[in-house]
Amino acid sequence: MADLIRNTLSAIFPEAAKFELVDAYKGTKGHVAMLAGLEEIKAKRAKGRLRRAVVVYGFYSEELIRQHESGSILDASGVFYLRLPALLSDIERVFREAANTQVVENNAIDEKSFRDYAIQEIGAFKHRCDNLWISMEMNANIAKMDIDNSPETMPSELFEFKTSHIEKLLEEYRKLAPMARRLGIADANKVTGMMDKVIGVVRQMQDKKTSPINALNLAFVCVEKGRALSTILEKVKELKYGK
């Protein structure tokens, strides 16, 4: 249905090629706070990917759309709302305006939408980091028990410390770092460096010359650094829920 509407509108008004046409609901099921279409615009704008104007369409009033949690994106530069059904003249007017709109770079996303999106993304990232540090601490403690019993044997749990896990998170954070800085998270700049250090420590652990006891000590160093990193990102919770 959404495709049919978009294709029909695009066929009637060739200027539609100059902007994005997005269904506000776009597969959203039930009565939810987040509208999938608006969320998509929010994500693209926050990541700096969507610099063209957008016409959002839907069958509900603009007032109702704005009441949704994701409704504030309609305040961003170059975002228009078209309520259907509409007269062809009204559609043409909105489309012409959208086609002639240059998105203002520093207002590509409204502040509320940006904050909501950035907090959500960084929160999810922190959650993944926490999972990793928890699993590292778990494995380190099991390894400690094993070493107490058999000091010369490298506990298998220490092989669960993998640089690939941290590298993946580091790659993710590099994309999130500008948002973290814009949110004003203190020490956001230190996170990449800290992750690099954890990767370095894991490499040391994997060195064949490293003894089991040294590997174990390094494992706890990883855990400590990871926890410190999470403390920096803890700030998003404060931003979301207040102190």
Using CB under 8 A as the criterion, which residues of the chain lie in contact with another protein when the complex forms? 120, 124, 127-128, 130-132, 134-135, 137-145, 156-157, 160, 165, 237, 240-241
Tokens of 191: 């996170």
Q: Smallest distance, Å, CB 168 to another protein?
A: 10
In the block, tokens 């200027």 appear at 15
Q: Which two tokens stand for residue 106?
A: 């520093």
- Alpha-carbon gap, residue 75 to 48, rounded angstroms: 16
Nearest to 130 by CA among 243, 240, 236: 236
Alpha carbons 202 and 218: distance in angstroms, whole number = 7
* Distance in Å, CB of 137 to another protein, minimum: 4
Are 213 and 151 within 8 A, CB to CB?
A: yes
C-beta of 53 vs 216, nearer to another protein: 216
Percent of residues in the chain assigned helix, strand, coil, to nearest 5: 70, 5, 25
Peptide linkage before 155 cis (omega within 30 of 0): no
The nearer residue to another protein, 92 or 137, going by C-beta atoms, is 137
- Of 183 and 239, which has the nearer Cβ to another protein? 239
Paired strand residues for 209: none
Which CB, 135 or 204, lies closer to another protein? 135
> Minimum Å distance from CB 156 to another protein?
8
225: tokens are 């650094």
Q: Which residue lies nearer to another protein by CB, 90 or 238?
A: 238
* Shortest separation between residue 135's beta carbon and another protein, angstroms: 4
Least Å from the CB of residue 6 to another protein = 24
